[in-house]
Amino acid sequence: MVTVLLLAGGESRRMGADKALMHGGVERLRQLAIECHAERTITLCGSIERENMFNGEVWADPLTCETLSEVIEWALSLIEGDVQLICCDAFNLESDGLQQLILSGGGVPVDEVGNRQPLLANCPEGWSVGENDGTVSSLFQELESLDLGLLSYQMKNFNLPDD
């Protein structure tokens, strides 16, 4: 069983807009998950006020979590089976790239310049998160890097308006 976890927590200060609503937004990514036969798709929406912004199964961040790494760790602890993360700014991600991530058996993809993209990690069943030092990358430090070759351009995330 593969669960896709869509990360759509809120407005980006660097981007200056809500990335969850840009370039087809979370709904486009949710449709990709359906095309790739994910059995379950959950959107992590951030605050409870954002729950009604998204379709399908939506979880608000628990009040006990202060960082994104804590929210991801919390969500992963509640889901059985394989989990595929997708950040809402995966604007280049298409079904062939997502399918390769899902079929990878676990790992953190690298983008076209070789940077690991932990917010697109594939977390196989039985795998455990690393020690949380407050960074997202710490959770996935034990997962191997995935070079998806020609599809690596799809693994980029966007943080600035000029990206």
Question: CA angle 109-43-65, nearest 5°?
Answer: 90
Confidence check: pLDDT of 10 > 90: no
Average pLDDT, the chain: 87
Query: What is the pLDDT, as a whole number, of residue 15?
Result: 46
Q: Please name the helix (run of DSSP H) or strand (run of DSSP E) that holds residue 159, with its range, or none.
A: none
Task: Give burial (CB, 10 Å; 0-12/13-18/19+) of 90.
Answer: buried
Fold of the domain spanning 2-135: Spore Coat Polysaccharide Biosynthesis Protein SpsA; Chain A (3.90.550)
Q: What is the DSSP string of 45-60?
A: EESGGGGGGS-SEEEE
Distances (CA, A) of 113 to 15, 76, 97, 155, 157: 21, 28, 16, 10, 12
Residues 6+ away with beta carbon under 8 Å from 48: 60
Ranges 24-33, 41-50, 121-130: which has the least confidence: 24-33
Beta-ladder partners of 44? 7, 59
Q: Which of 39, 29, 27 is nearest to 94 (CA)?
A: 29
* Token pair listed for 144: 């191997």
Q: Which tens digit of pLDDT belongs to each residue from 106-143?
A: 999 999 999 999 999 999 999 999 899 989 999 999 99
- Per-residue burial over 111-149, b if 16 or more Cβ lie within 10 Å, else e, is beeeebbbbbbbbeeebebbeeeeebebbbeebeebebe
Confidence check: pLDDT of 89 > 50: yes
